[in-house]
Amino acid sequence: MAEIKIFSNAHSAANALRKLTMTEIRALAAIKAAGTLSGGAKLLGISQPTISEHVRGIEEKLGVALFSRHRRGVDTTLAGAVMLRLAAALQTDIAWAAEELVAATREARRPIRVGSMALTSGGLAAVALGRLAAEPGSPTTVMLEGPRETLLEHLRHGRIDLFVGRLPEESKTEDLYREVLFLDSAVVIASARHPLARRNKVSIKQLASQSWVLPGEDTAFREQLERMLRQSGLQLPAPRVSSYSMLAIPAIVVSSNLIGFLPTSLYGAGTVSGGLRHLDVPLHGTASTVGILMRSSESGDERLQGLLRILRGVAASARAAIAVG
């Protein structure tokens, strides 16, 4: 089925979307989570013909094709990509609404929801939430890790209460309360067993001859590393391993002879430094801005202010670690 519907305005598109059922939305969310129609069917415990029938029903109601089918398989159309994002967002909203409903029926306050980027979730945010939990009478918390743009969308739509991570340009956050916590650089790490771990200083030339594990290609930390290494006279080599999990990088380094990189604050937080050594390498480059964002209307919330107080304290320790590094 080719895309045949052209919506003249958002109102007509919204009317078409209102025709969809929760069963159809769940089918799209499962396809989004699994990445394929067959995988989505397995997640729901239904047959592939059944989930295909749900997709056809959605296409008929909207008048657009969600997937283009060909001999090699199935590709997602532009309209299909929109609907998969919508379904995933609705499932997230339902999950959080369920948490709030449980809290409401128990006459309890809902947890504070913190959205954290990968570089802060294992260090700054993790330490802060741990310290908050140790305080008597402190609120419960839920942490969601994800890419910055996704978390900012969640923040603006009220799905999370606080964002922790690399801050975007100020012009992109004028509608939000913004606070800088520290400027974060990068450290070079190796296993304590690595030959370079026994050296007081490591040159750029020595670093270049090693095999590396790097963050994923389209991550902000990978881009920062490329700039720093370029300014230090070193081109980024092809890594032996790439990881989109920041916490996986130190685990890979500890169990191998690969060289890796971590944000200075994450290494300095002490949550991932077991079995690692910080190599003293002369790297140059601009540090990234790490901080918090929240909706301006909630900047006076007492519970959030309590968490901010702890985040500032942890950030002060991170700044000290950066200065030492």
State the pLDDT confidence band at 107, using cuts at 50, 70 and 90. low
Quote the percentage of the chain above a pLDDT of 70: 95
Q: Does residue 301 sit in the same domain as residue 177?
A: yes
How remote is the C-alpha of 126 from its chain's centroid?
14
Residue 259 near residue 190 (C-beta atoms within 8 A): yes
- Strand (E) or helix (H) holding 97: helix 78-105
Per-residue pLDDT for 9 more than 60? yes
The pTM of this model reads 0.66
Residue 158 included in any domain: yes
pLDDT tens readout for residues 288-302: 889 999 999 887 888
Per-residue pLDDT for 104 more than 70? no
- What Å distances lie between residue 111 and 8, 57, 138, 144, 283, CA to CA? 41, 37, 10, 12, 41
- Checking phi first, is residue 255 left (phi over 0); if not, alpha (psi -120 to 50) or beta? alpha
Per-residue pLDDT for 2 more than 50? no
Return the CATH number at 69: 1.10.10.10
Per-residue pLDDT for 221 more than 60? yes
Cβ neighbors of 231 (< 8 A, separation 6 or more) are 284, 285
Of 62, 91, 120, which residue is a domain's last? 91
Distance in angstroms (rounded) separating the CA atoms of residues 40 and 44: 6
Full residue range of the structural domain in which residue 137 is found: 111-183+288-324
Per-residue pLDDT for 132 more than 90? yes
Q: Does residue 273 sit in the same domain as residue 196?
A: yes
- Strand (E) or helix (H) holding 69: strand 67-70
Measured over the CA atoms of residue 216, residue 218, residue 220 and residue 222, the dihedral's sign is positive
